[in-house]
Every structure is written in structure tokens, then in C-alpha cells.
């Protein structure tokens, strides 16, 4: 024997509630905008499916049966939940609600990311921003287990993880910082990696990307680095250098705002590439895709306006996305979202021209408080601890978590 399984349809429940509340088939049909015969047929189909009459039908008098009385509150709840679900999805797809979980290395958190998040919050104040601060290896692990939607990491990936899609954004020079109260590390305007041999270095903690780069460069030059102090984060390293404990190799994005002497490396120099990564097997949520596009546009606009910090350039392979209508395919091969209403296509340099504007686009803060607490939340203006400079944006708070 073949059993035909049918299901109760949402529109049938809507028709049932309309008849139950109006106690009249014709008025109910007008209320739900269908012809009365169609409504009656759907009510009969619902009764057949449930195996019992829902209405007592008497001329001029429609009443609910016991089964109808039992079904009515359930039907109302189902329809209300369906409407709520529809509104939730609409708010998410229209970026009125939702969240983005983004990870970044400490120097990126204090360099590029604050301004990008400020721009994003101005356009989408209902989107919650969760920021995870950590080293690239930790962030890649967070991406792999689905704890992050996007991550700004140092490329190339160790092991070339095939589960991630990466996009190069910025190529950044590494420079040597030293205390202005002491002698310069070399007599000339530049220094070679070999000049680090025998010099007391202030070194980052193990697992820090810059530690691996510096130690690797020294070993490639044929010597082991000498550590005066090791184990700190960016703020601590800069503080130790300022105190005269040694010299350090840090990104130019951070160095240009420090009250320290900066010495570049002679060509070919030391560099690193900052890239954006997400899981290859899972499409990021729409809010995360829009934040990704905001990052790409920010880099492209800042480069075009000559507003990138000294020593920072678009990375080889970086290509500006094609902006326009939703659904177009960008140069990065990803599907673009439509530019939000009123979103500027480029950045607007502040008065004074592009030459001195980098500090406004890449505000650097070195607050040790922001580095030592496990969780920080921006206040209503988004400006707590220098996290999100610029005009107040309102909206949901930005949560920052620092992993050790």
C-alpha cells in the first residue's frame, strides 16, 4: 500500500485564522485577498489533512469545533513565528542586524583596522563587530574551527593551508627603532640585516609573527640574534626600546607614529604582506562580505589618494574590486555587494593635502590598557582607549578580545 503524506501549508493556517476571527467565509476571503471558493477549498483540504472538521457550518453562523478551538492558538503562534523569522532574515540580508567576527594581528589592530571599522559602523550601525586580536597562526586556527568570519593575517600562510582563501592587501616595510636619547644604530641613513649582529634586540614573545620574521632574517644572514629583553607585545617592545634597553624591528605602520628613531633597512630590505583570509568551504555572511569589500576599498582609496603611511604600499597581486550593482563579480573573483547609499567611492583627504594625512587614516595608539585586559568594549562614541577615532558612530559596541 502506498501512503501519500501531505503537509499543512502556511497559507491554509492563515485562511483558517481569518475565518475563525471573522466567523464568515466571504469576509475572510476578502481579508486574505483570495476568492471565496479558493479559501473554502483550502479550508476543506486542511480539514482533510487533519482528519476532522474545524468549523461548524450553519447558515449565517460559523463556529469553531473543539478541534478548531485547539488549533487556533497554535496556528496563530506558527504564523507569528513565521513572520518573525521572515523579519529576522530580512534584517540580516539588508544589514540592519547581524555580526561580523574579524581577527587581526596586534599591529593591524592599532593601525589600519580602527578606521575601517569606523567607516563600516557609520554605514551599518546595527551590525555587531567582534574583534579577535592574536598572531597569524592563532587566527588561522580560529578561522579553521569557524570562530572567525575574516582575519587580517601575515602572508604567506605557513603550510599554505588549502582550506583558506587569502587576498593580499598591503606590503609593509619593516624598520629598526631605537631610543632618540641614545646613539643611532648605524652612522648612515640605512642599515643592513647584518648590522643587527651582536646588537641587543628587544624581542617579541614566541608565536608573534614579527619574532619569526626577525629571527629568520638574522639566521639567513648567518648569525643568531642577541636578545636583551624578550617576551613582550607591541606596546611593551616599544616601551623597552624607548627606555634604552635595545633596538627592535617593527612594522613601519606602527613606527611612524612612535616617539622613537626609525632607521630603514637598505634594499632589498625586510617586508611583510598583510592579507585577508576566510574559509574556502564556507561563504562568509553577507555582513562579513561587505566588511571585506570595505577593507579592499579602503586600501585602494588610500593608495589612490597617497594617504598610506610611509613604507606601506598595496601588496603585489592586490586588485581593486569592481564596484557597482550587487551581484557583479569583482577583480578578486568574489561576488560584490552594492555600494551602500551615500557611501563615498573614495577617501577625502583632510585639509593640508595628502602628504601629511596618513596619521588621520591610520591612527596608532599604544595604550597598554587596551593590550592587557582580556575583553574591551568601545563606548558609545567608539573612542575608548583610542580604539575608533573620528566622529561618534553610535550603533552596537565593538568588542575586542586579545588572545595570549
Tens digits of residue pLDDT in 4-44: 345 889 999 999 999 999 999 999 999 999 999 999 999 99
Q: How far apart are CA 100 and CA 131, in angstroms?
A: 8
Say if 231 falls within a structural domain.
Answer: no
pTM over 0.75: no
Mean pLDDT across the stretch 67-88? Answer: 89
Domain count, the chain: 2
Q: Counting every residue, how long is the chain?
A: 404
Q: How far apart are CA 272 and CA 291, in angstroms?
A: 23
- Same-domain check for residues 17 and 152: no
- Same-domain check for residues 64 and 163: no
Say if 366 falls within a structural domain.
Answer: yes
Write down which residue in 23, 58, 93 finishes a domain.
Answer: 93
Say if 244 falls within a structural domain.
Answer: no
Mean pLDDT across the stretch 393-399? Answer: 55
- Same-domain check for residues 70 and 121: no
Mean pLDDT across the stretch 279-288? Answer: 88
Q: How far apart are CA 300 and CA 169, in angstroms?
A: 9
Q: How far apart are CA 253 and CA 310, in angstroms?
A: 7
CA dihedral 290, 295, 296, 302 (to 10 degrees): 140
Segments forming the whole domain that contains residue 53: 10-93
- Same-domain check for residues 148 and 20: no
Say if 294 falls within a structural domain.
Answer: yes
- Same-domain check for residues 65 and 167: no
- Same-domain check for residues 279 and 365: yes
- Same-domain check for residues 14 and 112: no
Residue 399 pLDDT level (bands cut at 50, 70, 90): low
Mean pLDDT across the stretch 59-67? Answer: 89
**CB atoms < 10 A from the CB of 389, how many?**
15
Residue 364: per-residue pLDDT: 34
Residue spans of beta strands (DSSP E) within 14-79: 55-58, 61-64
- Same-domain check for residues 21 and 123: no
The cell numbers describing 192, all together, are 643592513
DSSP state of 390: S
**CB atoms < 10 A from the CB of 52, how many?**
13
DSSP string over 215-263:
HHHHHHTT-PPEEEEEEE-HHHHHHHHHTTS-BEEEEHHHHTTSSSEEE
Is the per-residue pLDDT at 343 higher than 90?
A: no
Write down which residue in 93, 124, 147 finishes a domain.
Answer: 93
Say if 156 falls within a structural domain.
Answer: yes
Say if 250 falls within a structural domain.
Answer: no
Mean pLDDT across the stretch 122-139? Answer: 91
Q: What is the pLDDT of residues 245-264, one digit of tens each?
A: 999 999 998 888 889 999 99
Q: What is the mean pLDDT of the chain?
A: 79
Residue 398 pLDDT level (bands cut at 50, 70, 90): low
What is the chain's alpha carbon radius of gyration, rounded to the nearest angstrom?
Answer: 30
Amino acid at each position: 500500500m502506498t501512503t501519500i503524506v501531505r503537509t499543512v501549508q502556511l497559507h491554509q493556517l492563515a485562511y483558517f485564522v481569518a475565518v475563525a476571527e471573522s466567523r464568515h467565509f466571504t469576509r475572510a476571503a476578502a481579508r486574505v485577498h483570495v476568492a471565496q471558493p479558493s479559501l473554502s477549498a483550502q479550508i476543506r483540504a486542511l480539514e482533510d489533512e487533519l482528519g476532522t472538521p474545524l468549523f461548524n457550518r450553519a447558515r449565517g453562523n460559523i463556529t469553531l469545533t473543539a478541534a478548531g478551538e485547539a488549533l487556533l492558538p497554535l496556528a496563530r503562534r506558527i504564523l507569528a513565528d513565521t513572520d518573525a523569522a521572515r523579519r529576522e532574515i530580512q534584517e540580516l540580508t539588508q544589514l540592519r542586524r547581524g555580526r561580523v567576527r574579524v581577527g587581526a594581528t596586534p599591529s593591524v589592530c592599532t593601525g589600519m583596522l580602527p578606521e575601517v571599522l569606523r567607516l563600516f559602523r557609520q554605514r551599518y550601525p546595527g551590525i555587531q563587530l567582534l574583534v579577535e586580536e592574536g598572531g597569524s597562526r592563532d587566527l588561522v586556527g580560529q578561522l579553521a574551527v569557524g570562530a572567525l568570519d575574516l582575519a587580517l593575517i601575515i602572508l604567506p600562510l605557513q603550510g599554505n593551508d588549502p582550506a583558506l582563501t587569502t587576498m593580499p592587501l598591503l606590503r609593509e616595510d619593516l624598520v629598526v627603532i631605537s631610543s632618540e636619547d641614545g646613539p643611532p644604530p648605524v652612522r648612515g641613513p640605512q642599515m643592513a640585516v647584518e648590522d643587527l649582529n651582536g646588537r641587543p634586540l628587544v624581542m617579541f614573545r614566541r608565536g608573534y609573527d614579527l619574532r619569526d620574521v626577525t629571527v629568520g632574517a638574522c639566521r639567513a644572514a648567518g648569525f643568531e640574534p642577541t636578545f636583551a629583553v624578550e617576551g613582550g607585545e607591541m606596546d611593551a617592545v616599544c616601551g623597552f626600546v624607548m627606555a634604552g634597553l635595545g633596538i627592535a624591528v617593527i612594522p613601519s605602520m606602527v613606527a611612524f607614529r612612535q616617539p622613537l628613531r626609525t632607521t630603514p633597512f637598505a634594499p632589498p630590505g625586510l617586508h611583510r604582506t598583510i592579507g585577508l583570509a576566510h574559509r574556502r568551504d564556507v561563504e562568509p555572511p553577507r555582513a562579513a562580505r561587505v566588511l571585506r569589500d570595505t577593507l579592499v576599498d579602503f586600501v585602494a582609496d588610500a593608495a589612490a589618494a597617497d594617504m598610506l603611511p610611509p613604507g606601506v604600499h598595496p601588496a603585489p597581486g592586490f586588485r581593486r574590486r569592481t564596484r557597482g550593482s550587487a551581484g557583479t563579480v569583482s577583480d578578486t573573483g568574489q561576488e560584490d555587494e552594492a555600494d551602500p547609499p551615500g557611501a563615498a567611492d573614495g577617501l577625502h583627504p583632510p585639509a593640508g593635502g595628502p602628504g601629511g594625512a596618513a596619521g588621520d587614516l591610520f591612527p596608532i595608539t599604544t595604550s597598554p590598557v587596551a593590550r592587557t585586559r582580556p575583553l574591551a568594549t568601545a563606548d558609545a562614541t567608539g573612542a575608548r582607549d583610542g580604539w575608533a577615532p573620528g566622529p561618534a558612530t553610535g550603533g552596537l559596541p565593538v568588542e575586542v578580545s586579545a588572545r595570549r
